[in-house]
Amino acid sequence: MPVVCAGFLLLGIAIAAPPSLVDVAADISIAERAHDILVSRCLRCHGGVREQGGLNLAWRDRALRARTKGPPAIIPGDAAASALLMRVTHADPELRMPAEGNALSADEISTLRAWIDAGAVYPVLWSLRPIAKELPAAGPDSSWNTNGIDRAVSTRLASAGIPLPPEATPEAIIRRAALDITGLPPDPALASAYVSDPCAASWERTVDGLLASPAFGERWARVWLDIARYADTKGYEKDARRDVWRFRDWLIDAWNTDMPYDQFTQRVLAGDLLPGATENDRIATTFHRLTLTNDEGGTDNEEFRVAAVMDRSVTTWLAWMGTSMQCVQCHAHPYDTIDHRDYYTALAYFNQTADADRDDDSPSLQVAWERGKTTVPVMQELPLSEQRATYVFTRGNWRALGEAVTPSTPACFPMVGAQHHDRLGLAKWIMDPMNPRTARVEANRIWETIFGRGLVETLEDFGEAGARPSDSVLLDVLASRLQELGWSRKALIREIMNSRTYRMSAHPSEAALRLDPDNRLMSRAPHFRLEAETIRDQSLAVAGILDRTMHGPPVFPYQPDGTWMVVYSGDGWTTSEGGDRYRRAIYTFWRRSSPHPSLMTFDAVSRETCTVRRVRTNTPLAALAAMNDPTFVEASKAFAQRAIDATPGASDTERARWMLSAALIRAPRNEECARLAQLVAGEGAATDSATSTSNELAAWSAAAATVMNLDEFLSRT
């Protein structure tokens, strides 16, 4: 739990909380603990969904108000007279709260009593407090004091009694960096150059070279394709095709050109509203045209237009603010102070666009490309004379109209800058430096993409019910640097890569295993399975068959026969010819109702809705796919042939050594080479025997498949 000084919290209250709380002084640590108890034990029944007994403890003013029977739930300064304390300590189990589950512990009751007696301050949520700008204190090791990232990590480890970890081997570091930055294994020449001279200057040159690679944008755009719910089909039962790949290409280029995050946000949310909007600015708005479209006969276009507007609002708040808004469509937020009405004032920003669930996906933009023209759906604002009124939907029913509302942000968020009434104004509010949540959410997303788990593990929830930061100091270091670097995400990635923290070994010390078993303190480099697209791309790259062609319409790589076929339209999967079948996974045709099966096996998502965090699973299907999926079978054969061609006349042991080194980017151990050679011999086709060429290839293909199934190959370490 973050511990802050009273002055810092009061500053946060002055900016983000009602004036009635500003003058209340209390023990902040007690306030944090007490509020955690309310969230975890009380709000399920007395929050925004179920205000049982007319009591809502999520809002301070509602918890303090008079009740028809008995005293208020909370009387600041008088715990003994407060109904809350009476009920949680009641002797009768039938009347004691919480009604469901175990009674509060003595410590929890003591915390609530002390909190109420001290004034019952509702602390400002950690993610809405001003970002700390000061550099963390220097740690005990001078080599870890060069930047805020290392200072935060080393100080935390020292306070926990965990020794600072050593650096990983140069071979491990260069493979890690290439996979993290480009989603591909390092080029052999690049790896050899760094391993032969692993000094600081060489490392910085290596990182800069990887960041300059066009593969960087292809790797990092994947994260935002999940957020954008990007797919090459419209969704719903018909799930017809649509041409939206120009947005995917725009996104790749935005990463490669290091478009600042504030400019990126304005373009994807409101590029059409920018003064002098260019063709690329308008293509950026396809981000919010990627909602599902229902063009089946007999459907109500207005119903699905409204559904798309709701999706755009929910996606925006989730992606940029780490806020779940879906439940607020029907009632107040269960835990956060977001009211039912707030949902519709936020939705109003997106209710004035010209699209209306039409079959032709209009409005659209006709764009020239090297093989002709393509039509891209884009956002377009209605003229003032045609703009719609926005209403609160009673219980979320789009036909049950309540009061009319105008665009505004939920009251619980900072009221920074002037209030605007269109999408461009909302984008500027989101990126206002005085809005602390935006920088924390994006910095955390970058950290999660590199290290496999965010400092806030719940990327989808920076609210009351979400996880607290595992290191709030480090999170603020990252968020403040993102702002100070002019919202350059590539520059922040460079700082992370150049930190001592990034280069630490993945092998834990005995103290680290004992005191930090889950690696929450960053006591060693994390070890986790690579994401679906990287697993596929790495296999093709190591096999020597990856086609690096960028951009263009989606491609159709191998997948099992009969995976999908639309009976009434005849639409089906036709495997691409030539190099297209070996393109990077980001270019694979994405059908929402039937995404590519091997990618889904490795935890890709359907992209029917915005997804900000993929959850890793571990099932036998992953190993089966890596052994038997057509793409991996092709890769194994190609890798085997590559090994044979590269080692003419070599013994099985030496060929095994070459194969392991090429795949794992390190010098293999003798026993590893011997075991792989033994596998080949067991397949009946040792290279020094008189077996046929085809049997030799089959044997080494089995060896290649085995290597490509090693945990070390499938993992980032």
Give the residue extent of every domain in the chain.
6-124, 149-214+447-528, 215-430, 529-615, 630-716
pLDDT for residue 572: 86
Compute the 3-state secondary structure of the chain and give helix, strand, coil in percent, each to the nearest 5: 50, 5, 45
pLDDT for residue 420: 77
Tens of pLDDT, residue by residue over 584-636, are: 999 999 999 999 999 999 999 999 999 999 999 999 999 999 999 999 999 99
Q: Three-state SS for 628?
A: helix
Task: Give the span between the Cα atoms of 438 and 281, in whole angstroms.
Answer: 22
Q: Which pLDDT band holds residue 415 (cuts at 50, 70, 90)?
A: confident
DSSP string, 460-525: T--STTSPPPS-HHHHHHHHHHHHHTTT-HHHHHHHHHTSTTTTB-SSPPHHHHHH-TT-TT--S-
Long-range contacts of 90-93 (CB under 8 A, 24+ apart): none
Between 24 and 460, the higher pLDDT residue: 460
Task: Give the span between the Cα atoms of 343 and 717, in whole angstroms.
Answer: 42
Q: Count of residues for the chain? A: 717
Q: Which pLDDT band holds residue 8 (cuts at 50, 70, 90)?
A: very low
At residue 677, does pLDDT exceed 50? yes
pLDDT for residue 283: 98
Task: Give the span between the Cα atoms of 665 and 642, in whole angstroms.
Answer: 16
Output the CA torsion 266→270→273→276 (10° steps): 50
pLDDT for residue 1: 29
Tell me the chain's radius of gyration from C-alpha atoms: 28
Tens of pLDDT, residue by residue over 209-243, are: 999 999 999 999 999 999 999 999 999 988 999 99
Q: Which pLDDT band holds residue 53 (cuts at 50, 70, 90)?
A: confident
Tens of pLDDT, residue by residue over 548-571, are: 999 999 999 998 888 877 766 778
At residue 690, does pLDDT exceed 70? no
Output the CA torsion 371→373→376→380 (10° steps): 150
The whole-chain average pLDDT of the chain stands at: 91
At residue 6, does pLDDT exceed 50? no
**Predicted TM-score of the model (pTM):** 0.93
Closest of 411, 413, 393 to residue 403, by C-alpha: 393
Average pLDDT over residues 670-689: 82
Task: Give the span between the Cα atoms of 356 and 335, in whole angstroms.
Answer: 34
pLDDT for residue 417: 63
Average pLDDT over residues 246-260: 98
Average pLDDT over residues 150-161: 96
Average pLDDT over residues 522-534: 97
Task: Give the span between the Cα atoms of 317 and 309, in whole angstroms.
Answer: 13
Task: Give the span between the Cα atoms of 662 and 657, in whole angstroms.
Answer: 9
pLDDT for residue 440: 98
At residue 160, does pLDDT exceed 50? yes
Tens of pLDDT, residue by residue over 465-492, are: 899 999 999 999 999 999 999 999 999 9
pLDDT for residue 563: 81
- DSSP symbol at 53: G
pLDDT for residue 24: 31
Write the burial class of residue 562 (CB in 10 Å: 0-12 exposed, 13-18 middle, 19+ buried): exposed
Cβ atoms of 177 and 204 closer than 8 Å: no
Between 117 and 52, the higher pLDDT residue: 117
Question: SS3 letters for 529-576?
Answer: ECCHHHHHHHHHHHHCCCECCCCCCCECCCCCCCCCECCCCCCECCCC
Task: Give the span between the Cα atoms of 475 and 497, in whole angstroms.
Answer: 16
At residue 300, does pLDDT exceed 70? yes
Query: What's the fold here for domain 6-124?
Result: Cytochrome Bc1 Complex; Chain D, domain 2 (1.10.760)
Residue type, 51: E
At residue 418, does pLDDT exceed 90? no
Between 13 and 519, the higher pLDDT residue: 519
Share of the chain above pLDDT 90, in %: 79
CA 186 to chain centroid = 24
Share of the chain above pLDDT 70, in %: 94
